[in-house]
Amino acid sequence: MSEALNLTIRYQDAGEGWVTAQVVEIPGAISEGPNRQAARENVVDALRTLLTADETSAGSDRDSEALTLTVGS
């Protein structure tokens, strides 16, 4: 089974040449960079950090399964 999870990155001028990027659907997934591409890379990294569970909360019981989210360009 293959499903796409579509998320939205919103870009805003952060002043002094910087760009803020935020994943609208994920509170806390926000970052910035000196240009749009760098801001995108940084916010994807922030999203990865937010969605990566630590070992104690991930668990390994039989009622859980792995989910892989692939971010494309």
The Cα 21–Cα 42 span in angstroms is: 8
Q: Is residue 58 part of a domain?
A: no
Measured between alpha carbons, how far is residue 38 from residues 49, 59, 67, 68, 72 in Å? 17, 34, 26, 23, 15
User: Does 36 fall in a domain?
Assistant: yes
Backbone angles phi, psi at 61, to 5 degrees: -75, 165
Mean pLDDT of the chain: 84
Share of residues in the chain with pLDDT > 70 (%) = 68
- pTM (2 d.p.): 0.73
* Residue 35 lies inside a defined structural domain of this protein: yes
> How many domains are there within the chain?
1
Residue position matching structure tokens 């971010």: 71
CA 34 to chain centroid: 18
Residue 45, domain extent: 9-53
Does some domain include residue 1?
no
